[in-house]
Structure 1
């Protein structure tokens, strides 16, 4: 039922655009795809590659891991601000699935120009799992919907490798250390998952402090993954100031 409603919302938007052309969410210019026009996209486009290298104190066991200690690489596509922040709020908190195709197209537009060559470095693509109760309430998994386009042209599809085994409170009001504590032990590998020796691309909608990515990546590494890289649609302000 939820999938039918989501598809209905999408095709309803397509039908509407046949009568009323799609417009940029910022300046209202007519556009063919995405959520914003090319000019306005420049205001939000980040495409930032975080420098990831484990610190000596982490390797020596003298410090708790930071995301950049456990991630092989991290690509942040857009600033979590303005109309992008508004659209994600509508999706995540109001259940407005009709915005998902627009942001999915934006994710595609922001990936490296040589998309297929870039994707070839990864053996597996997966997403940070949504809490079961939130997925049931929304009727969809936000990261999986946003990054579905990554599968086009690939022989390997997106796989569900992780599950949430413990409820976590909303993280957006928590300080970095509180986030780590709240996330500790909340992810586990699914019984069927096999990641030994693999380079895994881990996707999520927002990179704030990176604690969620770090926790999920560590579970994958502990299960034998050779490397885990991160891909986020949006990044909180601390990552692009």
Structure 2
């Protein structure tokens, strides 16, 4: 897939202190087991072989496994479909990947962002939409949650992935109200929890542009569905999604 260089790139706002910390904490050992030697920003051969993987048949909406020749998996079919065109996930949300995502989100192991970005790039090149998207948009956190955590995990990955894909990155969405954690909620509660949670930022335009929406884990798809709705209502030509993992 040919990835074209955009005329202009607006980088995600990544604090300088976080970039410095990432360099300090990123040792020349495997990013997952943190024991075996590995090239900087990479994982060792043993961990590479133990990573959970999808089968050959991939759902076109989430990137997860599908059991039949139908293009979507049972989970996506039961959800009634989504507003986005194509979805790609790099891994199943299992084993070492589950642990790595938890370390990344909740323990401040931000050096994993580069590994996730590289993995997502490979998945997109193999299973993504034929045309390269024009814009990469991370799913936003509420400002209080981002302040507590110190970073937006999706935005950090988008910073690396945008540079790899040579496409414009932009924090185009704002989470206008704080939502409760989705874990433990029923499908109906998840939908109500996220309804009207996102808004397009002022002075931001996505009209006529193909958007790649980025999040960490795709579970029910409600977060990405609501974010996609806002982008499409704002005039985006198409929305595709990419995630680290499919739960």
Query: Of the candidates 193, 205, 210, which is equivalent to residue 182 of structure 1?
Result: 193
| Residue in 2 that maps onto 1:44 | 52
Q: Secondary structure of 2:133's partner?
A: coil
Question: Where does residue 214 of structure 2 map in the other structure?
Answer: 203
TM-score (normalizing by structure 1): 0.76
1:10 corresponds in structure 2 to 22
Contact 1:67 1:214 in 2 (8 A): no
Further displaced range: 93-102 or 31-40: 31-40
User: Match of 1:82?
Assistant: 95
Between structures 1 and 2, the one with greater helix share: 1
Alignment of 1:165 with 2:176, yes or no, is yes
The answer for unaligned runs of 5 or more in structure 1 is: 53-64, 237-241
In 2: Cα distance, 1:194 partner to 1:159 partner: 10
Aligned residues between the structures: 216
* Equivalent position of 2:67 in the other structure: none
Given that 1:35 and 1:103 are in contact with CA atoms closer than 8 Å, whether structure 2 keeps it comes out as: no
Give the Å deviation of 1:207. Answer: 0.3
TM-score by length of 2: 0.74
Q: Which 5+ residue runs of structure 2 have no aligned equivalent? A: 1-13, 62-77
State the superposition RMSD in angstroms: 3.0
**Which residue is equivalent to 1:112?**
125
1:27 to 1:139, Cα distance in 2 relative to 1, 3 A: closer
Question: What SS does the aligned partner of 1:87 have?
Answer: helix
Change in Cα spacing, 1:9 to 1:27, as seen in structure 2 (3 Å) is: closer
Question: What SS does the aligned partner of 2:54 have?
Answer: strand
Task: Give 1:38 deviation, angstroms.
Answer: 7.0
Supply the distance in 2 between the matched residues of 1:170 and 1:111 (Cα, whole angstroms). Answer: 28
